[in-house]
Structure 1
């Protein structure tokens, strides 16, 4: 019977949680859903000494403190500093169980062996230990310290240091005390292993609701805005007034370990084995290990001053925080995580193209659109809206589909006129004409008429990635070898090569007010003047941190958002226009990634559109793990926060010294380093700093996000160092951190001594200059010789195959080792394929080695052309090639290899020999459960299997596919 009762209660709780979660749509809009928080876990890999976080606190200076079984960890947003058992701390043991921040801004620490330490203004003060584990500490309004222990009852230490002990005979239900709370009347509430009591003004113990709490472990206590008492127990959560009235059951049969009010409406509840709960407006939401919680046992809860929620668990500290970006993945309902294209439709919805289908986001909900009637893989590459509000869907292998009111109305593919089924760009025009960009050229559809454009028509490359019609009627075609303009039925090539060797054009964005078309390329962004045709590059030299950019989006606040493989860039449109006009030389760039809410910083490109602006002002970016959304105005909210700043280290000639008071430094002090930190936790890595060393600097010096300032060879004198911090685009905080110091002079730094030696230096000046010139000449000759030797050495280490122009085996071995290690760290998929030309020996024997060499070059060119930009292609030796496909699923890798095989099979070689035909065999494998040396062996076995099965086929290792 007890077992059935237990399952019944668990079932009731499950139904309660399910009903509560389903009701979250009724929660007010100002309460973010749990999925909209950015979740982050910090553990021993990040610097914590132990993964069990028993207690959390934030002190007045802004530091976060975490108590573990291996010491105290202080966190500044970037790194942890560990305090353990040593003379500085006075802790008798490293095990820390509880923190308490009192009304005097002092941090009290209690833990193993009864250790009690107070930290105030950076000074540690230890008290005589009790010799028993301390579970809780509390300093009441009368400065009496209450000490809850594990088995020796409750101690009270008055301001004079005298201690008094409460035991079972004094009225305690148990001498094992779990929690303490002081109410507004000054009563001390005591949660024990066998019930709840309080201590009145006369310091007498009074029982509380014995019928409810006797024999029940009480783990957590909290007061709501009505001064009602919440009691978290092993059997659930209860609510009662402070007048000892009958408790009300709020949550039945849920073991509650921690309670924290976010505000008067929202309560966070930590449980012993069921994760974290949030209660709001009668609705309870659940967050456990299935949603990213590192462990379901909650030990501590804290809201910091920026409203980040910190959760102490048995698996590390877990944080929920607001972030600029939110990301939607398959967890929220997307058809697939690998997103290639996004479209803001006039129906108010956002359409999201993934490698596993098409999704639609409307009114906060995601549903998926079934394309299986005409698309086998439902892999979506591109999206566009037609003039009649139809939806055009370009696919990876099934051509382009038109949807009207959710129904398929038209479908174009190779069987009815397209040059290829891989459609990377779609452009419906107002006159009904449809332009299609494929992997083998561009197509124009006018009614039933289809005209295809390829190299023979003037395309520099048939690989089309972007299409755009500007306001002046020009049609821009972005390809793998520059841009083509179509106007008056003519194609005109727009070479990007003069701009740092730009080649690929991934996306177009028109800036009508400026008369510019912004092109995202593999060398930065290029501004094209629509009236004059002049172009201007904003690339590495102008401040862009890397080359390859996919899509430019102009938001409603005057900023560009630019997607890339390494995150999302934000830069001021005004600054970009000043660079174009020659008024400035560079732009200031912000880079956003995983720490800002993106599930992956790798944004996708190579199809249209890879990013877009939605009607609500949000910017959406296609990434390798879901679609990320940013509301630009949220950054302005973050900018209003003022992170406090502290000075953490003062290093003089690499020795750390105290800086609590003005320091007098000896003569000869050469190098001074000052390390500081802005104690903000929303965007810790991007906090900006400025410093001012009075006595040396004339004004504030910008330090960007660097957290240290270094000075060498400062002259003798008195100095005052100041530092302030701000979030990007925010106001500088007024709570500047300061330190003062003085450097004493040497005797020779006195003025009278300097006058004395001035004459001697004058006499030696000529000799010194002559010696120096001779020394420079000798150094110049030595450097010229060294450069010559190193140049010769570098030429011997060539990394390119001389015949095909591909990477050679040495270069590939290095790339393989790097990509394999990266895949192991990020738990991503790495695929490797070995490619062998079938019957190649017959080509050499029958047609000559010269023809064989030409065949190798042509095969290499096709492989290179058909491979993706992220792939690594190399000549392995003889007639063998190898291709490395990072961050690629086995299914996608098989699609790439099969496309390569088909292209080689169709390769026209009649100029070499009238009847010469080529095929290739491919062996494909993945790093799943394979060590690095086994990767090549696995691919080679698969290649051998392909040969054995008759050649001209793809074989996947440990599979019968193809």
Structure 2
């Protein structure tokens, strides 16, 4: 069973992997009627494929219809005459207005009635006026495009005036703004346990529940705070299955994986408010640990001074929360860098292979197993000394030396000019003397 939905007529739509689509009229008493739709090569109006991956019952549009995502595109049929087995098909024909890939993985209808389709070719918006699609695909080296073309889940953002969507791919969760066509990715760098997004649901408090292939995450869409759940918390497995997720009318979450199904009420999930600060366990400079005395000074003063030849820095940190230590998180950022917080690896190591000379502020923050961050952000001030030829005293000494040399050179030039003037004056005086002497001899003669 790929997916099922119940519409207002109390009909249960059941998709299979290879045997088409079943419609079960659960409002009827025994015997219950089941209608079966299968693909028929000799009937172009039959359902597009017997492999059904997604089902959407559209009751918002003026013409209510059933949308079925298959291994051979989309099939649509109006609910008013579904018994006639007359399907309309939308396939991947290779042109810009068709589906980008024949395998449809998920179908979603936003509150304004827009039909959105996820496939192995990206995200597609159905344009009912033309019966075509506007496609959004991953573009290399474009961080504002969708992060991956494998789209497994789509969900509308709650309380969002921009009518944006959350799009789950095989390489991250994307927040999509339909007005600008831009995507913003949330992935392991932000705290998700894995980039393969299998399902997206929203609870009554507007928090997102995101199933992945490495656990389940609760995400606050406003702050992007993430709380992760794993096998230790009671999951059937850390590996969930793409497309296997649903929310009941009572608000319970249903999420399926390789070892069964998890069912829970988000309102009954405890919020763990106990948090701890980050502890610096060790500091290594140029791959060499510093001594305990210096480490204690750094912990006390929150200042680390490095020489110019100290090229690399590594900090080993820990969170003194021993309830589920493997689920503690540490995030850090240097000088409130533009790319925001970085999540430390599982070894709780923070490395900077090459810090240029300058002054830095390293901010540290820890989260408990529930994903709650400590309210106080710790800071470590780091100073990397410049080489001597870039220091103020060197500049001052160089200025004094240059000034002294310039002064001596000027004095030498002045002395040279004075000597030249004296020589010229002496030559002229000798010439005048010679003229007077010659004149005197001529007079006596």
Asked if TM exceeds 0.5, the reply is yes
Residue 743 and residue 454 in structure 1: after superposition, are their counterparts in 2 closer, same or farther (change >3 A)? same
Pick one of 453, 465, 485 that aligns with 2:53.
465
Name the residue aligned to 2:402: none
Pick one of 14, 31, 41 that aligns with 1:409.
31
> Alpha-carbon deviation of 1:712?
4.9
Pick one of 661, 667, 682 that aligns with 2:297.
661
Q: Take 1:493 and 1:745, find their aligned partners in 2: how far apart are those partners? A: 64
Pick one of 481, 487, 500 that aligns with 2:72.
481
1:503 counterpart = 2:144: no
What does the per-residue CA deviation read over 1:872-917, in whole Å, with 9 as the maximum and x for residues that have no partner?
Answer: xxxxxxxxxxxxxxxxxxxxxxxxxxxxxxxxxxxxxxxxxxxxxx
In the TM superposition, 1:308-323 aligns within 5 A as none
Q: Is the 8 A contact 2:277 2:366 kept in 1?
A: yes
**Alignment coverage as a number of residue pairs:** 330
Name the residue aligned to 1:646: 279
Report the secondary structure of 1:670's partner residue.
coil
Q: Is the 8 A contact 2:67 2:75 kept in 1?
A: yes
Pick one of 588, 613, 616 that aligns with 2:250.
616
Residue 512 and residue 496 in structure 1: after superposition, are their counterparts in 2 closer, same or farther (change >3 A)? farther
Q: Take 2:327 and 2:247, find their aligned partners in 1: how far apart are those partners? A: 26
Q: Take 1:481 and 1:756, find their aligned partners in 2: how far apart are those partners? A: 78
Residue 492 and residue 563 in structure 1: after superposition, are their counterparts in 2 closer, same or farther (change >3 A)? same
Q: Take 1:520 and 1:686, find their aligned partners in 2: how far apart are those partners? A: 34
> Alpha-carbon deviation of 1:670?
1.0
Report the secondary structure of 2:108's partner residue.
strand
Pick one of 667, 683, 689 that aligns with 2:331.
689
Q: Take 1:726 and 1:525, find their aligned partners in 2: how far apart are those partners? A: 34
In the TM superposition, 1:680-759 aligns within 5 A as 687=329, 689-693=331-335, 701-706=340-345, 707-716=348-357, 720-726=361-367, 732-751=373-392, 753=394
What does the per-residue CA deviation read over 1:551-603, in whole Å, with 9 as the maximum and x for residues that have no partner?
Answer: 4455867797878889xx7x57xx32x2x222644232444434534323444
Kindly report the root-mean-square deviation, in angstroms, between the aligned alpha carbons of the 2 structures.
Answer: 4.8
Name the residue aligned to 2:421: none
Q: Is the 8 A contact 1:717 1:743 kept in 2?
A: yes
What does the per-residue CA deviation read over 1:539-561, in whole Å, with 9 as the maximum and x for residues that have no partner?
Answer: 58658665544444558677978
What does the per-residue CA deviation read over 1:127-169, in whole Å, with 9 as the maximum and x for residues that have no partner?
Answer: xxxxxxxxxxxxxxxxxxxxxxxxxxxxxxxxxxxxxxxxxxx
> Alpha-carbon deviation of 1:503?
2.9
> Alpha-carbon deviation of 1:757?
8.7
> Alpha-carbon deviation of 1:714?
3.6
In the TM superposition, 1:312-461 aligns within 5 A as 340=1, 382-385=3-6, 387-389=8-10, 391=12, 400=22, 402=24, 404=26, 409-410=31-32, 436=36, 438=38, 441=39, 456-457=44-45, 461=49
Residue 554 and residue 600 in structure 1: after superposition, are their counterparts in 2 closer, same or farther (change >3 A)? farther
TM-score, normalising length: structure 1 = 0.29
> Alpha-carbon deviation of 1:459?
6.5
Q: Take 1:713 and 1:756, find their aligned partners in 2: how far apart are those partners? A: 29
Q: Is the 8 A contact 2:106 2:119 kept in 1?
A: yes
In the TM superposition, 1:193-232 aligns within 5 A as none
Report the secondary structure of 2:389's partner residue.
helix
Q: Take 1:522 and 1:506, find their aligned partners in 2: how far apart are those partners? A: 7
Unaligned runs of 5+ in 1: 1-339, 342-381, 413-433, 442-451, 759-962
TM-score, normalising length: structure 2 = 0.56
Q: Is the 8 A contact 1:518 1:527 kept in 2?
A: yes
What does the per-residue CA deviation read over 1:806-854, in whole Å, with 9 as the maximum and x for residues that have no partner?
Answer: xxxxxxxxxxxxxxxxxxxxxxxxxxxxxxxxxxxxxxxxxxxxxxxxx
Residue 685 and residue 675 in structure 1: after superposition, are their counterparts in 2 closer, same or farther (change >3 A)? same
Name the residue aligned to 1:629: 263
What does the per-residue CA deviation read over 1:497-540, in whole Å, with 9 as the maximum and x for residues that have no partner?
Answer: 66995331122221123x32232322444343556754243658
Which stretch shows the higher mean deviation, 541-550 or 701-710? 541-550
1:528 counterpart = 2:116: no
Report the secondary structure of 1:725's partner residue.
strand
